Amino acid sequence: MELRDEQAYGRFLQWGTTIGLVLLALSFAAYLAGILPSYTPPSALPELWQVPVSRYLEVTGSPTGWRWLSLLHNGDYLTVGAITLLSLVTPLCYLQLALSLAARRRTVFALMAALQLVIFAAAAALGFF
């Protein structure tokens, strides 16, 4: 890997993280301000924080796996969406890096970055079950 690969990765990481944090702050502010409806009322949260997750899911009817995507119109789940976007910054950095390395025929490094993407995808896929 060359310095330009590291610099491109760093720039992409910086921009992605900045955008992700701004989206997280805005979505959380919209949630707290009540601009968007909440799936779970904020007033119920202190009581729900004390129960096991199985009970929380039963009481709130909250979805599991990736089914929460259908609830992005709610302020609490929009915040979850912003957290998810923030967590995608690193895999997107690796994708950019793998493509850049492959274009320059740095095969071993490109394969290493691609393998890391496979690991990220496998970890995300576990959320479907």
For CA atoms 81, 62, 56, 66, give the dihedral sign. negative
Task: Give the type of residue at 91.
Answer: P
Total domains in the fold of the chain: 1
Taking the C-alpha atoms of residue 88 and residue 28, their distance in angstroms, rounded to an integer, is: 18
Burial class of residue 92, CB neighbours in 10 A (0-12, 13-18, 19+): middle
Closest CA to 117 of 94, 99, 85: 94
- pLDDT tens across the length of the chain (129 residues): 567 878 888 999 999 999 999 999 999 999 889 899 999 988 888 999 899 999 999 999 999 888 999 999 999 999 999 999 998 999 999 999 999 999 989 999 999 999 999 998 888 887 655
- pLDDT recorded at residue 1: 59
Asked whether 37 and 74 are in contact (CB, 8 A), the reply is yes
**Domain residues for 21?**
3-128
- pLDDT recorded at residue 127: 64
